[in-house]
Structure 1
Amino acid sequence: MYELVIANKNYSSWSLRPWVLMRARNIPFTERQIPFPGGDSYPTYKPLSPNGRVPCLIDADRPVWDSLAIVEYLAERHPGLWPDDAEARAWSRCAAAEMHSSFQTLRDICTMNCGIRVRLKHRPAALERDIARIGELWNEGLVRFGGPYLAGDTFTGADAFFAPVAFRAQTYGLDFGGAASAYVERMLAEPAIREWYEAALAEPWREEGHEEEARAAGEWTEDLRARA
Structure 2
Amino acid sequence: MKLLIGDKNYSSWSMRPWVLLKHFGIPFDELLIHLNQPGTNAAVLAHAPNGPGKIPCLIDDSGLAIWDSLAIAETLAERFPQHALWPRDAAARAHARSVSAEMHSGFGELRSNMWMNIRASFPGKNAKPGVLTDIARIEAIWRHCLETCGGPFLFGEFSIADAMYAPVVMRFKTWQPALSESASAYVGRIAALPAVQAWIDGALSETYAVPYLDACP
Q: Is the 8 A contact 1:114 1:171 kept in 2?
A: yes
> Match for 1:135 among 118, 134, 139?
139
Q: Say how many residue pairs are matched.
A: 212
The Cα shift of 1:207 comes to 1.9
For 1:68-217, what aligned pairs fall within 5 Å after superposition?
Answer: 68-79=70-81, 80-152=84-156, 154-211=157-214, 214-216=215-217
The Cα shift of 1:40 comes to 7.3
The 1-side partners of 2:122 and 2:86 are apart by 34
The 2-side partners of 1:178 and 1:158 are apart by 20
2:18 matched residue in structure 1: 19
SS of structure 2 residue aligned to 1:117: coil
2:68 matched residue in structure 1: 66
Q: Is the 8 A contact 2:14 2:56 kept in 1?
A: yes
Q: Is the 8 A contact 1:114 1:167 kept in 2?
A: yes
Residue by residue, what CA displacement relative to the aligned partner does 1:45-96 show, whole Å, maximum 9, x if unpaired?
2222411110000002100000010000010011211000111111110011
The 2-side partners of 1:45 and 1:37 are apart by 12
TM-score normalized with structure 2 length: 0.93
Q: Is the 8 A contact 1:4 1:19 kept in 2?
A: yes
Higher mean C-alpha displacement, 38-47 vs 61-70: 38-47
Moved over 4 A (4+): none
**Structure 1: which 5+ runs fail to align?**
217-228
State the one-letter code of the partner of 1:69. Answer: A
The 2-side partners of 1:202 and 1:59 are apart by 28
TM-score normalized with structure 1 length: 0.89
Q: Is the 8 A contact 1:37 1:44 kept in 2?
A: no
The Cα shift of 1:181 comes to 1.4
Q: Is the 8 A contact 2:124 2:177 kept in 1?
A: no
Residue by residue, what CA displacement relative to the aligned partner does 1:148-206 show, whole Å, maximum 9, x if unpaired?
00011x11000000000111111000233242210000011000000110110000111
Give the CA RMSD over aligned residues: 1.4
Q: Is the 8 A contact 2:127 2:177 kept in 1?
A: no
Percent identity (aligned) = 43
**Structure 2: which 5+ runs fail to align?**
none
